[in-house]
Amino acid sequence: MTTIRRCPPRGFTLLELVVVIGLLGLCFGLIFFKMDAFVPSSRIKSSSRELASRVEQARNYAIVSGLTIHFQYDIEQGRYRYYVPFELSEEDGKTIIGEGETVVFDWELLPDTIRIKDIIIGESDPIDSGIVTMSFEPRGVATGHIVHLTKEESDVVYSVVTRSILGLVDVVEGNLQPEVAGDNVF
């Protein structure tokens, strides 16, 4: 008579799989939620890029529509928007029908931990409160300015720089100050 030898079962039990998946989920959750503490510049960097993108959108809208666009920063509330400083016809969106404003992009809030530290217009002193308005002309020319974004409880600062003549926008890490034209420029 032959005996049948039983091999021990291979694989994992359902309980073992549930425990391992639960531990992996817990580890990934902790890493994901604590990532901001380990890399404080990640959120401020993405917020700076988002703001720069909106400023570029306002410039492009001014060029395409042939209208002056105002871009506003609300420093205390940590938000921004852009609009046409006239009331426009709803028929074609370009005919000025009166005083007022036509909002193109309504107020957008910065993330909770990000705030506007200050804004420097041209070579003036930093403005650290109130609502600041910049303009884009139909040719793309802008009011040159630097917006400093900072993360609460951190030394990390990013600068969103809008160049005046071309209206181009850059994001630079650090607290960038305006370039002062010296004698060697002329």
pLDDT by residue (tens digit) across 149-182? 998 888 889 999 999 888 889 999 998 888 755 4
Check residue 79 and give its pLDDT.
95
Taking a C-beta distance cutoff of 8 angstroms, is the pair 167, 136 a contact?
Answer: yes
Q: Provide CB contacts within 8 A for 88, sequence distance 6+.
A: 67, 94, 95, 96, 97, 102
- What Rg, from alpha-carbon coordinates, does the chain have? 26
- Superfamily in which the 40-179 domain is placed by CATH: minor pseudopilin epsh domain (3.55.40.10)
Q: Are 162 and 169 in contact (CB under 8 A)?
A: yes
pLDDT at 173: 92
Please give the pLDDT value at position 126.
94
pLDDT of residue 99: 79
Say if pTM beats, i.e. exceeds, 0.75. no
Q: What is the mean pLDDT of the chain?
A: 84
Q: What is the pLDDT of residue 58?
A: 93
pLDDT band at 59 (very low <50, low <70, confident <90, very high): very high
Q: Where are the domains of the chain?
A: 40-179
Helical residues (DSSP H) of 6-80, grouped into ranges: 14-38, 41-65
Q: 95-106 pLDDT, tens per residue?
A: 777 777 888 889
pLDDT band at residue 185, thresholds of 50, 70 and 90? very low
pLDDT band of 39, cuts 50, 70, 90: low
